Chains A and B, each alone.
Chain A
């Protein structure tokens, strides 16, 4: 994964801040760059669709997702129930579109929280160095060595309140260290750049250097870390719920899959309560992965140039056939 390479410069994504005109609409520079890359364009499109569905969920869901109607139970997908119904007769389509709200919100918030903690701690530690760095590093390593999944299982099993905020806090707690390590490594390569030294020499206070000079240069890496944690928390959250460790009264993709599994619907040939939420989850993660790949390609010119340089050397030494 190239976003783990801390030495790459952020120039293309960070520098051309000016908005770019696409037709009649003015688009911020970074978005225009991402839209020009085919991977992130596809990814953004997918994610935008899922988000749109989540936003308009109350309008398109046929019934309340947890309404049950034993007369309409276990129906295969039809025009009336697009994604079929569960063994309780709840509409799976409604569960999927309404569940998207909780799943996305949870993923995004957990991602944002973890990124915030990671960026502040990782970058500050890298820049300040010394004892601060040692402490943050120790903390990071402790959290990295704690096996994440068992911790999650144990934490969510013990915690009484299994609401959304608890889940967000638990996931962020487990994932921030992972990100902090990436961001700290990149900040370390940036902190000895001349422009940071120049800011220091001109008397800028530390917090301004960290947040005003360093951080804007790492925006694409922070964005990449956010997207990464976003989809990992989506998967982790659904996984926990699938194991029955989430908030089972909520409506989310994981919960729908959990009930499908508990009632062994697939064994009875009813694939739909299992298939559709899983597809929704897979599609969202795919979209986010593509966005991440796009950010990588746009922000890391070495991904392209190194490839070419390799070719030149190969050509020179007569190894290339192309």
Chain B
């Protein structure tokens, strides 16, 4: 039973003036589901649309089309404040930059206390106690001291822990972590990843882990989604996908981190402006055949549980 399901989610941003209006297809036909107690990694390069997916699910943007199904309803269409509030208490977002996601003029206590009050998680008299429990839960001790501090008095890792505690305050079912470790020092990244693993098990949370780092995806995730230019080009169990990738883009990413020589000249994975038909990866693809430039490939399950968007390695029957 999935906690949250994303169906054919698309988002395009208009650019240019009224006369030459164009659309950047940041996210296109993205579908996947998140399961309780499982971590799904969403991997891609900058501009691939991976953060936009997380923000769409968090309702920070409205999707252009498609739906986000949660608790039986399509939350992309929900407008009533009460229902939005209920959704927000169950789906939490952790931001990439722990230096930007905390208000510099507010104490740690404020950041954790506000969600508790807004969603009336505990009675007012127990708020202090709950704040301390949450801070201890993410390894910030002594909680009384930490709660009184301002963000600039904490290190990057500690700030990210505060952000995680804030997300957990509302006892969410889904946590969307948008590159939570990429701004942190190498030696403390593992600590944050381990914390996410622990929380997943303790609270049975469905995690979406957005990252550009394949190795960390393999370290904590159960499933993986690979994004390129706004589309999911491959999905499957993380071990299986990384051991035997189907899509040439996944192979390229793996080659890059394995330190193999890279033959092609990268042109980035940015979303396309008003793309025509054809595979987005065709200009960089070593396997391209004529059909690739004309027909957009579908996501086809070529192996059990593993699907890819490629005419060559995962052809439609």
Mark A residues whose CB is within 8 Å of B.
Answer: 10-11, 14-17, 193-195, 197-204, 213, 216-217, 219
Task: Name A218's closest neighbour in chain B (CB-CB).
Answer: B105
Mark B residues whose CB is within 8 Å of A.
Answer: 55, 58-60, 84-85, 88-89, 92-93, 95-97, 100-106, 114-115, 118-119, 150-152, 163, 166, 170
Name A194's contact: one of B88, B89, B101, B119 (CB within 8 Å): B101
- With A14-B105, A17-B150 known as contacts, the answer to whether A199 contacts B100 (CB < 8 A) is no
Task: Name B169's closest neighbour in chain A (CB-CB).
Answer: A202
Task: Name B119's closest neighbour in chain A (CB-CB).
Answer: A203
- With A194-B97, A194-B100, A213-B103 known as contacts, the answer to whether A201 contacts B59 (CB < 8 A) is yes
Cα distance A213–B163 in the bound complex, in angstroms: 16
State whether B114 touches A199 (Cβ < 8 A).
yes
Distance in Å: Cβ of A212 to nearest Cβ of chain B: 8
Name B95's contact: one of A14, A197, A217 (CB within 8 Å): A197
- With A15-B104, A217-B104 known as contacts, the answer to whether A203 contacts B118 (CB < 8 A) is yes
Task: Name B92's closest neighbour in chain A (CB-CB).
Answer: A201
Task: Name B99's closest neighbour in chain A (CB-CB).
Answer: A194
Query: Could you say which residues of chain B place their CB within 8 Å of the CB of A198?
Result: 93, 95, 101-102, 163, 166
State whether A193 touches B100 (Cβ < 8 A).
yes
State whether B88 touches A11 (Cβ < 8 A).
no
Cα distance A14–B95 in the bound complex, in angstroms: 22
State whether A200 touches B100 (Cβ < 8 A).
no
Distance in Å: Cβ of A308 to nearest Cβ of chain B: 21
Instruction: Report the 7 A-B pairs with minimum CB-CB distance, sorted nearest first.
Output: A194-B101, A194-B100, A194-B95, A216-B105, A195-B103, A203-B88, A202-B115
Query: Could you say which residues of chain A place their CB within 8 Å of the CB of B103?
Result: 195, 199, 213, 216-217
Cα distance A160–B89 in the bound complex, in angstroms: 58
Query: Could you say which residues of chain A place their CB within 8 Å of the CB of B93?
Result: 197-198, 201
Sample (13) of A-B pairs whose CB atoms are under 8 Å apart = A15-B151, A195-B100, A197-B93, A197-B101, A198-B93, A199-B103, A199-B114, A201-B59, A201-B60, A201-B88, A202-B170, A216-B106, A217-B103
Task: Name A9's closest neighbour in chain B (CB-CB).
Answer: B104
State whether B97 touches A203 (Cβ < 8 A).
no
Cα distance A216–B92 in the bound complex, in angstroms: 25
Query: Could you say which residues of chain B place their CB within 8 Å of the CB of A14?
Result: 104-105
Distance in Å: Cβ of B23 to nearest Cβ of chain A: 20
State whether B102 touches A11 (Cβ < 8 A).
no
State whether B100 touches A202 (Cβ < 8 A).
no
Cα distance A135–B59 in the bound complex, in angstroms: 26
Query: Could you say which residues of chain A place their CB within 8 Å of the CB of B92?
Result: 201-202
State whether A15 touches B118 (Cβ < 8 A).
no
Cα distance A195–B98 in the bound complex, in angstroms: 9
Query: Could you say which residues of chain B place their CB within 8 Å of the CB of A203?
Result: 84-85, 88-89, 115, 118-119
Contacts beyond the supplied A199-B103, A202-B115, A204-B114: 18 A-B pairs with Cβ under 8 Å: A10-B104, A11-B152, A15-B104, A15-B151, A16-B152, A193-B100, A194-B100, A195-B101, A197-B93, A198-B102, A202-B92, A202-B118, A202-B170, A203-B84, A203-B89, A203-B119, A217-B103, A217-B104
Cα distance A16–B88 in the bound complex, in angstroms: 31
- With A194-B97, A204-B118 known as contacts, the answer to whether A17 contacts B89 (CB < 8 A) is no
Query: Could you say which residues of chain B place their CB within 8 Å of the CB of A201?
Result: 58-60, 88, 92-93
Task: Name B87's closest neighbour in chain A (CB-CB).
Answer: A203
Task: Name B152's closest neighbour in chain A (CB-CB).
Answer: A15
Distance in Å: Cβ of A176 to nearest Cβ of chain B: 25
Query: Could you say which residues of chain B place their CB within 8 Å of the CB of A17?
Result: 105, 150
- With A193-B100, A197-B95 known as contacts, the answer to whether A15 contacts B105 (CB < 8 A) is yes
Distance in Å: Cβ of A247 to nearest Cβ of chain B: 41
Query: Could you say which residues of chain A place their CB within 8 Å of the CB of B59?
Result: 201
Task: Name A193's closest neighbour in chain B (CB-CB).
Answer: B100
Distance in Å: Cβ of B138 to nearest Cβ of chain A: 16
Max chain B CB contacts within 10 Å: which of A10, A11, A203, A219?
A203
Max chain A CB contacts within 10 Å: which of B59, B85, B97, B104?
B104
Cα distance A85–B59 in the bound complex, in angstroms: 71
Query: Could you say which residues of chain B place their CB within 8 Å of the CB of A15?
Result: 104-105, 150-152
Query: Could you say which residues of chain B place their CB within 8 Å of the CB of A195?
Result: 100-104
Cα distance A201–B104 in the bound complex, in angstroms: 18
Query: Could you say which residues of chain B place their CB within 8 Å of the CB of A10?
Result: 104
Task: Name B116's closest neighbour in chain A (CB-CB).
Answer: A202
Query: Could you say which residues of chain B place their CB within 8 Å of the CB of A204?
Result: 114, 118
Max chain B CB contacts within 10 Å: which of A14, A202, A216?
A202
Distance in Å: Cβ of B100 to nearest Cβ of chain A: 4
State whether A202 touches B88 (Cβ < 8 A).
yes
Task: Name B88's closest neighbour in chain A (CB-CB).
Answer: A203
Cα distance A219–B106 in the bound complex, in angstroms: 13
Cα distance A217–B152 in the bound complex, in angstroms: 14
Distance in Å: Cβ of A68 to nearest Cβ of chain B: 55
Cα distance A17–B153 in the bound complex, in angstroms: 12
Distance in Å: Cβ of A232 to nearest Cβ of chain B: 28
Distance in Å: Cβ of B181 to nearest Cβ of chain A: 15
Task: Name B84's closest neighbour in chain A (CB-CB).
Answer: A203
Query: Could you say which residues of chain A place their CB within 8 Å of the CB of B100?
Result: 193-195
State whether A217 touches B97 (Cβ < 8 A).
no
Cα distance A17–B151 in the bound complex, in angstroms: 12
Cα distance A306–B55 in the bound complex, in angstroms: 33
Distance in Å: Cβ of A11 to nearest Cβ of chain B: 6
